[in-house]
């Protein structure tokens, strides 16, 4: 471990100690008639890292420089309080108790300050030993040993993220002529596939002794060979480990990444994190970093100015391993979803739920989302997949799957012309059973029957299937929204999942799961986490209603737009396709959706920019169910 040398400590004012809290005087620069005042002002100054206003017998500015030299870059937070002020044989001494939190460890020690009366006021005789137990010519140094980071686990405690071998590739400036370092950086950057100009700037700006990391690569990935590195002066590969999932795409961005602490992370940690410490930077790794990272080991040394003099150890603590984070993710299902979306260009997602428990088995966001958590937080019009909620509202109004509804080629509402999709089968036009209108996804039939259930009742039906609930998943998540008030064309658009209706892939997977379960499903991602109870919807879907909806979704596969799923192995599949127009292009661009149930599995698939639910999202869903 390299010893870190001094720069200024960041500290906070002590406030809990009875003696200190009782008498700290704001802006007290004079000692006053009472030696206690000078002692308290000293404790306050040390706590703040600023002793320029402490009454001393010497120069306050020099004392401050002395403090900063001794403290160095130990970092953390220091709280100092006065434990006693006593006179013995004419010498008045203030005893100080220091409590220094460094990287999660707490170093407690005592120092003493001599107080003298001078010019009618009490002052501190400044010495470096007032700051810490150091001797003349010594400064404080610290080195840390990272704790073993907790794993992220999946269903049945399968290991998802754990320490895996990596290779850090970069330029070692001690091994290359300074004039050649920039050229080497560009050559290495091109090999690594990173920006040559930006990397060259970083290398040239770094110190002469620096190793400037270009990229961290999985040890089993595309690592430059020894011959390639030998051909680039100064290039170096350093082996190590890093918490990683089985593959680069696995569970991203939900699982998140681990890397060196940024300045912002260090500042927000209140001394628990030091520059360079490995921390979670995104996803679950960031949100539960405190649990996962554990407590690093800390060693504080008194470092002599003479490099030949051995440092003295003043304090040490052992690292404490982080605790694992359990999730419900199924490694096989998650891996399959990630592979299926790997080549999808637009933003995309697959979410799979176990209806019987609400466990999230796969939460996959495709690379087209540029790192966004499309699966949990995406906000998209759900299109005709929302007709599951519309059908529930119609069933509650008194219709049955056999009730006749009018499916016309077009329908005009307040001047806006609504149509069915371009290749809607002519055989399913006219007065048809609700089952047929649902299976073939007839827009005009749903819009024509909209007055059977109010907009408020439509929103209530959606809530009964899990849409729009306030569920604490342990990660940011959007469970959809359905307006309770809508008129005219917006009302017409609502019943076919457009207008102001929005949902995430998670929300639509919940709709399918609630149908399969026969009751409103609450999603679970972190089984050990005690989340607040989500309020139940006022009208949860009943088992009888869910049975009817299951029949409608089954008809989509046997007789409708999901017929390509008819020969899937395993139990019967129920499904619903969805295509939602968005934007101002002509013809409009569309979100492509499909949801499905099979046994104790519910799935939602989204491609944010596709042709249609059956032709774009459907094949991805089929691959997932056939995996």
DSSP-assigned letters across all residues of 61-78: HHHHHHHHHHHTT--SEE
CA-to-CA distance for 190 and 611, rounded, in angstroms?
37
Q: Is residue 3 part of a domain?
A: no
CA-to-CA distance for 372 and 92, rounded, in angstroms?
63
Both 335 and 279 in one domain: the answer is no
Both 124 and 197 in one domain: the answer is no
pTM, to two decimals: 0.84
CA-to-CA distance for 594 and 616, rounded, in angstroms?
9
Residue 58: the pLDDT is: 82
Closest CA to 308 of 532, 473, 137, 191: 137
Q: Give the pLDDT means over successive 10-residue stretches in the chain (627 positions).
A: 33 32 35 82 95 89 92 89 93 96 91 92 94 93 91 98 96 96 97 96 95 94 95 96 94 94 83 82 96 93 92 95 98 98 97 98 97 97 98 98 97 95 92 97 97 97 96 96 96 96 98 98 93 85 98 97 94 96 89 98 97 95 95
DSSP state of 614: I
Sort strands 235-244 and 159-172 into parallel, antiparallel or unpaired.
antiparallel
Whether the ω angle into residue 587 lies within 30 degrees of 0, i.e. cis, is: yes
CA-to-CA distance for 619 and 612, rounded, in angstroms?
11
The residues, ordered by sequence, that sit 6+ positions from 2 with a Cβ below 8 Å of its Cβ are: 143
Q: Is residue 290 part of a domain?
A: yes
The residues, ordered by sequence, that sit 6+ positions from 454 with a Cβ below 8 Å of its Cβ are: none
Q: Of 101, 119, 145, which residue constitutes the final position of a domain?
A: 145
CA-to-CA distance for 517 and 511, rounded, in angstroms?
10
Q: Is residue 321 part of a domain?
A: no
DSSP state of 253: T
Left if phi > 0, otherwise alpha if psi is -120 to 50, otherwise beta: which for 356? alpha
Q: Which two tokens stand for residue 109?
A: 């020690």
Q: Which two tokens stand for residue 264?
A: 């912002």
Both 384 and 513 in one domain: the answer is yes
φ, ψ for residue 54, nearest 5 deg: -75, 130
Residue 267: the pLDDT is: 82
Asked whether 277 and 144 are in contact (CB, 8 A), the reply is yes
Both 137 and 168 in one domain: the answer is no
Both 418 and 454 in one domain: the answer is yes
- Residue 49: CATH number of its domain: 3.10.450
Q: Is residue 301 part of a domain?
A: no
What is the chain's length? 627
Both 422 and 522 in one domain: the answer is yes
Q: Is residue 494 part of a domain?
A: yes
CA distances for 355 relative to 18, 220, 378, 519, angstroms? 56, 37, 21, 9
What is the total count of domains within the chain? 3
Both 344 and 237 in one domain: the answer is no
Q: Is residue 484 part of a domain?
A: yes
Sort strands 348-354 and 359-365 into parallel, antiparallel or unpaired.
antiparallel
Give bridge partners of residue 91 from the DSSP assignment: 88
Handedness of CA 276, 278, 281, 287 (dihedral sign): negative
The 3-state DSSP composition of the chain as helix, strand, coil percent (nearest 5) reads: 30, 25, 40
The end-to-end CA distance of the chain, in Å, is 47
- Virtual torsion, Cα 382, 384, 385, 391, nearest 10 deg: 120
Residue 33: the pLDDT is: 65
Structural domain containing residue 357: 331-626
CA-to-CA distance for 242 and 285, rounded, in angstroms?
12
Closest CA to 401 of 388, 418, 415: 388
- Residue 192: CATH number of its domain: 3.90.1310
Give bridge partners of residue 364 from the DSSP assignment: 350
CA-to-CA distance for 413 and 7, rounded, in angstroms?
71
Sort strands 589-598 and 573-582 into parallel, antiparallel or unpaired.
antiparallel
Q: Of 145, 166, 194, which residue constitutes the final position of a domain?
A: 145
Asked whether 482 and 462 are in contact (CB, 8 A), the reply is yes
Q: Cβ atoms within 10 A of the Cβ of 531, count?
A: 13
Asked whether 392 and 401 are in contact (CB, 8 A), the reply is no
Query: Residue 508 is inside which H or E element, if any?
Result: helix 505-517
Both 121 and 257 in one domain: the answer is no
Q: Cβ atoms within 10 A of the Cβ of 491, count?
A: 20
Both 87 and 24 in one domain: the answer is yes
CA-to-CA distance for 155 and 166, rounded, in angstroms?
26
Q: Is residue 209 part of a domain?
A: yes
CA-to-CA distance for 203 and 208, rounded, in angstroms?
10
Both 99 and 209 in one domain: the answer is no
Residue 7: the pLDDT is: 32
Q: Of 295, 323, 352, which residue constitutes the final position of a domain?
A: 295
Residue 28: the pLDDT is: 38
Both 288 and 364 in one domain: the answer is no
Both 125 and 159 in one domain: the answer is no
Q: Is residue 177 part of a domain?
A: yes
Exposure of 189 by Cβ count < 10 A (0-12 exposed, 13-18 middle, 19+ buried)?
buried
């Amino acid at each position: 471990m390299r010893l870190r040398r001094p720069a200024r400590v960041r500290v906070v004012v002590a406030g809990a100690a009875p003696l200190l809290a009782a008498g700290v005087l704001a802006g007290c620069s004079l000692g006053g008639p009472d030696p206690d005042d000078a002692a308290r002002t000293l404790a306050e100054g040390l706590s703040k890292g600023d002793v320029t206003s402490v009454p001393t017998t010497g120069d306050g500015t020099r004392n401050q420089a002395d403090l900063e030299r001794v403290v160095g870059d130990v970092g953390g937070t220091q709280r100092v309080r006065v434990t006693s002020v006593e006179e013995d044989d004419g010498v008045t001494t203030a005893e100080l108790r220091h409590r220094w939190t460094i990287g999660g460890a707490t170093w407690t020690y005592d120092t003493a300050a001599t107080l003298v009366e001078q010019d009618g006021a009490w002052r501190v005789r400044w010495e470096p030993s007032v700051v810490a137990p150091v001797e003349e010519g010594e400064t404080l140094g610290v080195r840390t040993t990272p704790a073993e980071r907790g794993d992220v686990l999946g269903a049945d405690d399968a290991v998802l993220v754990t320490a895996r071998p990596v290779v850090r590739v970069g330029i070692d400036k001690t091994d290359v002529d300074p004039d050649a370092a920039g050229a080497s950086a560009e050559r290495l950057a091109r090999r690594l596939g990173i920006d040559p100009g930006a990397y060259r700037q970083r290398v040239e700006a770094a110190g002469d002794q620096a190793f400037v990391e270009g990229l961290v690569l999985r040890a089993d990935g595309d690592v430059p060979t020894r011959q390639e590195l030998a051909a680039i002066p100064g290039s170096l590969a350093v082996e190590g480990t890093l918490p990683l999932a089985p593959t680069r795409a696995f569970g991203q961005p939900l699982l998140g990444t681990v890397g060196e602490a940024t300045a912002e992370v260090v500042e927000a940690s209140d001394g628990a994190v030091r520059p360079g410490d490995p921390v979670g930077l995104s996803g679950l790794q960031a949100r539960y970093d405190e649990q996962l990272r554990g407590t690093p080991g800390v060693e504080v040394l008194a470092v002599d100015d003479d490099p030949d003099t051995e440092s003295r150890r003043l304090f040490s603590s052992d690292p404490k391993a982080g605790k694992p984070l359990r999730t419900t993710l199924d490694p096989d299902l998650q891996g399959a979803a990630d592979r299926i979306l790997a080549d999808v260009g637009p933003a995309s997602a697959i979410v799979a739920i176990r209806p019987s428990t609400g466990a999230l088995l796969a939460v996959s966001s495709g690379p087209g989302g540029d790192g966004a958590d499309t699966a949990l937080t995406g906000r998209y019009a759900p299109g005709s997949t929302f007709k599951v909620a519309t059908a529930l509202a119609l069933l509650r109004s008194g219709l049955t799957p056999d009730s006749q509804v009018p499916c016309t080629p077009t329908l005009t509402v307040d001047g806006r012309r609504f149509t069915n999709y371009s290749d809607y089968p002519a055989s399913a036009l006219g007065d048809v059973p609700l089952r047929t209108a649902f299976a073939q996804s007839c827009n005009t039939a749903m819009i024509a029957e909209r007055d059977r259930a109010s907009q408020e009742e439509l929103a209530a039906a959606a809530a009964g299937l899990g849409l729009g609930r306030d569920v604490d998943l342990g990660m940011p998540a959007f469970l959809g929204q359905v307006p309770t008030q809508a008129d005219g064309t917006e009302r017409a658009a609502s019943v076919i999942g457009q207008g102001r209706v929005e949902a995430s892939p998670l929300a639509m997977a919940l709709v399918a799961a609630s149908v399969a379960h026969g009751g409103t499903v609450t999603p679970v991602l972190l089984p050990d986490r005690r989340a607040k109870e989500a309020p139940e919807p006022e009208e949860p879907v009943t088992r009888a209603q869910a049975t009817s909806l299951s029949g409608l979704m089954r008809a989509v596969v046997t007789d409708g737009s999901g017929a390509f799923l008819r020969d899937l192995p395993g139990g019967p599949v129920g499904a619903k396709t969805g295509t939602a127009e968005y934007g101002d292009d002509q013809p409009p661009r569309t979100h492509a959706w499909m949801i499905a149930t099979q046994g104790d599995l519910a799935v939602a698939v989204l491609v944010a920019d596709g042709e249609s639910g059956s032709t774009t999202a459907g094949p991805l869903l089929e691959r997932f169910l056939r995996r």
